[in-house]
Amino acid sequence: MIEVRQLSFSYGTKRILDIDALEIPTGKIVLIRGPSGSGKTTLLMLLRGILQPSSGAIHVLGHDLTAMNDRQRRTLRLKEIGSIFQQPALLPYLTVKENLCINQFLGDKSFPDPTDHTLVDELGVKPLLKRYPSELSGGEIQRVSLIRPFIHRPKLIIADEPTNHLDSDHRAYFVNLLKDYQNEYNTSLIVSHDESLIPHCDLVLNFKEISP
């Protein structure tokens, strides 16, 4: 469950985001759309606890983010949220396996070994585990970055323009992955301009640019 009340975020005097109330029930795939500058990405950063709101309350997975300290928010991010980025975002100096369990390097010692994960097998990533990203093809990189957020079975997936770098095959696979994930686990929050995702989402939120 994600709950936002009277949320406001500003950079200096510039208001970036205003939300009176938003509730996203557990187990839903939610698409957030809107023009550039409407605060979509800012909302994702607030929900991850990277930014602190200027005012208002945010509850994510039962945690009051505004009441948590930086360390607690970081732990929440590390253990309970999976992030998908616009770009593949694999670290070039880590092997595929190390990239899949990057959270271990960031302090999550309980992060599972990705070697025997179902997705690693299903997407044919197993033979790639010891390779570096520079040794992979474009398709292989897409597959690795797709499964990375799912390895530790987080309760919430937050994706920012996730289909930007995907070809049609991988886009379809991504949608299936989200649905499987939804059935098995929990909530997905997607910011995207990709209209092909609309039919697969339970909820579509349209953001508008804030008038000055």
Q: Which residue ranges make up the site for other proteins (CB under 8 A)?
A: 45, 48, 50, 70-71, 74-75, 77-79, 81, 83, 85, 87, 89, 91-94, 98, 102-103, 105-108, 132
Residue pair 6/55 in contact by the 8 Å Cβ criterion: yes
Q: How far apart are CA 36 and CA 161, in angstroms?
A: 12
With H, G, I as helix, E, B as strand and everything else as coil, classify residue 107. coil
Closest separation in Å from C-beta 100 to other proteins: 12
Nearer to other proteins, 54 or 75 (CB): 75
What is the token pair recorded at 85?
Answer: 């980025």
What is the token pair recorded at 140?
Answer: 């292989």
Closest separation in Å from C-beta 91 to other proteins: 6
Nearer to other proteins, 80 or 194 (CB): 80
User: In angstroms, how far is the first alpha carbon of the chain from the final one?
Assistant: 31
Nearer to other proteins, 69 or 168 (CB): 69
Nearer to other proteins, 53 or 149 (CB): 149
Element (H, E) at 23: strand 14-24
Q: How distant is the alpha carbon of residue 159 from its chain centre?
A: 3
Closest separation in Å from C-beta 93 to other proteins: 3
Closest separation in Å from C-beta 49 to other proteins: 10
Closest separation in Å from C-beta 144 to other proteins: 14
Distances (CA, A) of 42 to 9, 14, 37, 105, 175: 8, 13, 9, 26, 24
Nearer to other proteins, 74 or 200 (CB): 74
Closest separation in Å from C-beta 151 to other proteins: 12
Residues in the chain: 212
What is the token pair recorded at 69?
Answer: 């300290």
Nearer to other proteins, 105 or 124 (CB): 105
Q: How far apart are CA 133 and CA 2, in angstroms?
A: 34
Q: Please choose, from the candidates 113, 85, 112, the residue with its C-alpha nearest in 3D space to the C-alpha of residue 190.
A: 85
